[in-house]
Amino acid sequence: SIKKQIQDLLESELTVSEHAILRYFERVLGFNLDDIKKEILSDNTVNQIKLLGGGKYPIGNGHRAVVVCNTVVTIE
């Protein structure tokens, strides 16, 4: 049983966590995550969210921030 579990772990496909991908963007590609957050949450967008609550808000370039419970959960 333990040998089977070990073998399964050794044969399992490698994955890359979202955290590792974010660090790659930040450290290898040189993206500044704080600047990206500021771009998503411009003053105009923040004001709309405060006034209207959750929903979908334009952030430019034809994209929208999807807000649920005061959190941007995705970009469309």
Q: What is the pLDDT of residue 12?
A: 83
Q: What is the pLDDT of residue 73?
A: 98
CB contact at 8 A, 14 and 21: no
Does the pLDDT at position 13 exceed 90? no
- 22-25's contacts with Cβ under 8 Å and 24+ in sequence apart are none
Does the pLDDT at position 10 exceed 90? no
Question: Tokens 């979908």 appear where?
Answer: 56
Does the pLDDT at position 43 exceed 90? yes
27-40 mean pLDDT: 96
Q: What is the pLDDT of residue 11?
A: 85
How many C-beta atoms lie closer than 10 Å to residue 48's C-beta? 16
24-53 mean pLDDT: 96
